[in-house]
Amino acid sequence: MTEAAGQGLLSINHRSTGFVELFRRTVSLLRERLSIPPQYSVFFASSATECWELVGQSFIDLYSLHLHNGAFGKKWMEYRQKLSPNASGHAFHLQHIPSLNHLLHFQDADLLCLTQNETSNGSQLRNRLMRKLRRHFSGGQKLIVADATSSMGGVELDWLCADVWFASVQKCFGLPAGMAVMVCSEKALEVAKTRGYNRHYNSLLFMDEMAQKGQTTHTPNVLGLYLLCRTLEQRQPVSQTAPALRKRAGLIYQRLEKARFHLLVQNRMVRSETVVAVKGTPAYVQAIKQEALRNGFLLGNGYGAWKDTTFRIANFPAHTDQEVEALLQFLEQHSPARWPVAAQ
Ligand SMILES: *Cc1c(COP(=O)(O)O)cnc(C)c1O
């Protein structure tokens, strides 16, 4: 931040060559560190929520099918339905992999919307399933859109399995909130062109037009972009960091199970590698959060339906192994079994 201020970046004109350079450098670093295929375009928006909406309005007349099992996926569907009624959802069970049979009931759908990592309950759709969904949902104008807000930058995504991916930067990128990254296939842009919806400041077509000039449609979060650029410079490629992060997720699950915590996601095949949700009575959850805070740990609140009966642990690249170890030791000492007072 000091460096950005020192370079006069905080007052830079977003149509200037200095900005264009920063834009292009950040895109090229994202491509390199995240292994984004060359035929995919990279855009910047303000938040993942904005991405829900801009995808919705850029493909407003395509029937949108939302497979969801948690609060973010459901909210996305509701946002889309507010824009246009040609959207429906299918809720699948948290402990299950969504069944492909459901897709058969929605032959008319052209947009399949998936939450790759459901932050609200700590579940994920693995690459294998994403590939299967891709095979079953293809042809014509059919597009897959994946919300990877809490996994992009931490997990190796199989980019070819979806046409549009997005994430805001405050999760696995470890940056202050206020920006989102969108990754878009050629096909998505082609379909957007055939639909021709370009009515909003952040319609996909307008974003693409500006991005080709190394610019955004609006005055962007220049500091956010700079911080993304500088932190990406210092980071290893995700292909190298993701296996370690996955291993650490395994360790967290294992240690918590051993300490007899109740994990919200029982099915190992759908457990998230970046968000771990732990279940407890409302009294225990409240007590552990308070005790954690007294010990210098900020546990994530439960979300949506699980607000009072879970807490969440982020396993993001910015967390060091030492920090995770210290948290695990704290939790082991305060498991419901060993710390029964609070469990009453
Ligand atoms: C955090 C989150 C969002 C919302 O992100 P904003 O930056 O607040 O818009 C959307 N989807 C998922 C899966 C998330 O984890």
60 CB within 6 A, ligand 1: no
72 CB within 6 A, ligand 1: yes
The four Cα atoms 45, 49, 52, 55 give a dihedral, to 10 degrees, of -20
Given this model, what pLDDT does residue 99 score? 84
Instruction: Please report which helix (H) or strand (E) contains residue 43, including its range.
Output: strand 41-45
Number of the ligand 1 atom closest to the C-alpha atom of 115: 13
Mean pLDDT on 17-36: 98
Alpha carbon nearest to ligand 1 atom 14, residue: 149
Percent above pLDDT 70 for the chain: 99
Given this model, what pLDDT does residue 310 score? 98
Helix axes 186-195, 204-211, angle to 10 degrees: 120
Given this model, what pLDDT does residue 341 score? 63
The answer to whether the CB of 222 falls within 8 A of the CB of 10 is yes
Alpha carbon nearest to ligand 1 atom 3, residue: 48
Candidate of 68, 165, 168 to mutate for ligand 1, largest count of ligand atoms within 8 Å of Cβ: 168
Q: How many CB atoms lie within 10 A of CB 29?
A: 18
With bands split at pLDDT 50, 70 and 90, how would you rate the model's confidence at 140?
confident
Percent above pLDDT 90 for the chain: 92
Candidate of 50, 114, 149, 166 to mutate for ligand 1, largest count of ligand atoms within 8 Å of Cβ: 149
Q: How many CB atoms lie within 10 A of CB 294?
A: 8
**φ/ψ (deg, to 5) at 87:** -145, 140
What is the pTM (predicted TM-score) of this model?
0.97
Distance in Å, CA 167 to ligand 1 centroid:
7
Residue 285, amino acid? V
Q: Among the listed ranges 124-128, 193-197, 288-292, which one has the minimum average pLDDT value?
A: 193-197
Given this model, what pLDDT does residue 241 score? 97
pLDDT 10s digits, 203-247? 999 999 999 999 999 999 999 999 999 999 999 999 999 999 999
pLDDT 10s digits, 93-115? 999 998 888 777 788 899 999 99
Mean pLDDT on 29-44: 98
pLDDT 10s digits, 174-192? 999 999 999 999 999 999 9
Sorted by sequence, the CB contacts under 8 Å of residue 138 that are 6+ apart come out as none
Nearest one of 28, 50, 246, 57 to 149, comparing CA atoms: 50
Mean confidence (pLDDT) of the chain: 95
Distance in Å, CA 340 to ligand 1 centroid:
34
Residue 236 CA to residue 231 CA, distance in Å, equals 10
Candidate of 44, 49, 274 to mutate for ligand 1, largest count of ligand atoms within 8 Å of Cβ: 49
Number of the ligand 1 atom closest to the C-alpha atom of 49: 9
**pLDDT at residue 342 is higher than 70:** no
Reduced DSSP (H G I as helix, E B as strand, rest coil) percent helix, strand, coil of the chain, to 5: 45, 15, 40
Number of the ligand 1 atom closest to the C-alpha atom of 52: 10
**pLDDT at residue 344 is higher than 60:** no
**pLDDT at residue 79 is higher than 70:** yes
Candidate of 53, 79, 119 to mutate for ligand 1, largest count of ligand atoms within 8 Å of Cβ: 119
71 CB within 6 A, ligand 1: no
